[in-house]
Amino acid sequence: MNVAFTSIRQAAEVSPSAAIAISGLTKSFMPGMPVFSDITLDIEPGSIVALIGANGAGKSTLLRCIPRLIEPDEGQIRVLGSNVMGPSRELRGVRTRIGFVFQKHNLVGRLSALTNVVHGAQARGFGAKAWLQSLAPQAIRKEALHCLGRVGLAAMAAQRADQLSGGQSQRVAIARALMQHPEIVLADEPAASLDPQAGDEVMQLFAALMRQESKTVLFTSHNLSHSLLFADRVIALGGGKIVLDSPTSRLRESELRDLYV
Amino acid sequence: MSDIALPSRVARVSPLTFALSLAVIAFVIASFTTSGIAPDKLSRGIPALGRLVGQMFPPSVERLEPVLWSLLQTFQMAVAGTMLGLIFSLPLAILAAPSLSPHPAVVWLVRAIVALFRTVPDLVWAIVFVIAVGLGPAAGVLALMVDTIGFAARFFAEAMEETEKGPREALTAMGARRSGIIFSSVIPQALPSMINTSLFSLEKATRGSVVLGLVGAGGIGIELKVSLEMFDYDQAATIVIAIFLLVLAVERASTWVRNRVL
């Protein structure tokens, strides 16, 4: 692969201050055919990192392994100093600190945009009070409306989620993540299911909000311009390994394009 | 013209399939013989049926008021039995849904209980509860409750299993509790199907409730039984018409609600 391999870190180099520290991570869905193996990387607090790679490179699998939505075969994952591979109680605690924005938004279509955002408060221990906006305390309802306002959708708070456009749905999903007050946000191709213009708008909004709140972000993307424009650092997966890990400032789009050849 | 031979008009049948087909045909013929359905019997039965219908009409309105009260009691039994059944169906359905249940053994056990409730006819449950709690509507309500659980818990569980996994995954990813995932994502998505099942349960319970009185479990069935035993066929006709109108009204109302809600 004709790519400048700016920096590929080894297991021993995982920083103790990292927001996300992964070492020796391996995952396979079929025996003998790992999606990736022995992945080691760390993400510094407050940085925005793009994870790129061709279809099937394992970007989404790696992202989903971090909060253990997919169970890794081997390796260690620490998020904000907590061991993700620990027992389920500890895992749930770690998950409450991670926001996740999905490619397909994953909203409850029959519920209003406001209720979907209120759901984010479940990560903050509001339990049954955050099942529906009608059950939520006034402060939570107001905060959810404020979050919708930040993504430009306050006027659509009462609208059912399945009546929103793709771009609007993704904005609601971002508002839900904000409502969670996470320290880390993982986003799995947040713009992939949107048309180019809506995709650009959503990515712009997403990156701006994340920077405002100094969140640590790891997002996957096929859009190289998005990766270069919105991330501080780009990590590329290929052949089950990290094939590139570099600050965005040192990269050119043509260089990244070679990864897909 | 192609050299390839045309396929046979009739697919080739294996000896085993042929033997099984013959066995099925023989069993169907034997079933008719055992049940005693014969043309001469039918020809004798039709005039008798005509005489019965003649005796039923015009229906008697002599005891209309007590009949209507019994009908109301029957419907109330159906409503109470359905409501209790639906209330118990919800937790059972959650335990019977593989993706929500805490353990596969729990799924198996709950599904077995629900299957037992469903396969035993409501009339048999009515007899069981008459023995347990005595004659009267309480036995009928309990029988309808069990029958509703057998029906609704299964369909609730299936509706929950069929919900989109994405919203569930979103809540799991943020560390929501299992109860939060069920009540924020699964039930809201399954709700239209659950409402549909609930309305069918009410229709089913209304139809079922009218015969429970035959075994002493309350409702209009006892009125029908007494009328038939006393050869008051005109009285029985009034009861049958009243039952028909009640069942029809419930079906129409539930169709209306279904169309409004879904």
The minimal CB distance from A69 to the residues B167, B172, B183 is found for B172
pTM of whole model > 0.90?
A: no
Per-state percent for chain A, helix, strand, coil, to nearest 5: 40, 25, 35
Nearest 5°: phi and psi at A194? -110, 160
Give CA–CA dist A27/A35, Å, rounded. 6
Cα radius of gyration rounded to whole Å, chain A = 18
Question: Is the backbone of residue A110 left (phi > 0), alpha (psi -120 to 50) or beta?
Answer: alpha
Q: What is the ipTM of this complex?
A: 0.89
- Cβ separation B188–A110 shorter than 8 A: yes
Instruction: State the pLDDT confidence band at B34, using cuts at 50, 70 and 90.
Output: confident
From the CA atom positions of chain B, what is the Rg in Å?
A: 25
Quick check: B171 and A127 CB within 8 A? Answer: no
- Average pLDDT over every residue of B42-61: 86
Q: What is the mean pLDDT of residues A228-240?
A: 93
Gap from B29 CA to chain A (nearest CA, Å): 53
Q: What is the set of domains in chain B, with CATH numbers?
A: 64-261 (1.10.3720.10)
HSE, side-chain direction, 13 A CA sphere, residue B47:
4
Q: Report which residue type is found at B232.
A: D
pLDDT at A8: 47
Contact A100 B170 (CB under 8 A): yes
What pLDDT is attached to residue B44? 83
Q: Which residues contact A94 (CB under 8 A, 6 or more apart)?
A: A67, A79, A80, A82, A83, A84, B175
pLDDT given at position B2? 64
Å between A95 CA and nearest CA of chain B: 5
Q: Where residue B4 falls among pLDDT bands split at 50, 70, 90?
A: confident
Instruction: Give B-chain residues touching A98 at CB under 8 angstroms.
Output: 173-175
**Residues of chain B contacting residue A128, judged by C-beta atoms under 8 Å apart:** 179-180, 183
Tokens describing residue A59: 């970007």
- pLDDT confidence tier of residue B1, bands split at 50, 70 and 90: low
What tens digit of pLDDT does each residue of B214-251 get?
888 778 888 888 898 888 999 999 999 999 999 999 99
Contact (CB<8Å) A95/B171: no
pLDDT average, residue stretch B130-146: 93
pLDDT in tens, B162-220: 999 999 999 999 999 999 999 999 999 999 999 999 999 999 999 899 888 888 877 88
Tens of pLDDT, residue by residue over A128-172, are: 999 999 999 999 999 999 999 999 999 999 999 999 999 999 999
Cα A73 from Cα A90, distance rounded (Å): 19
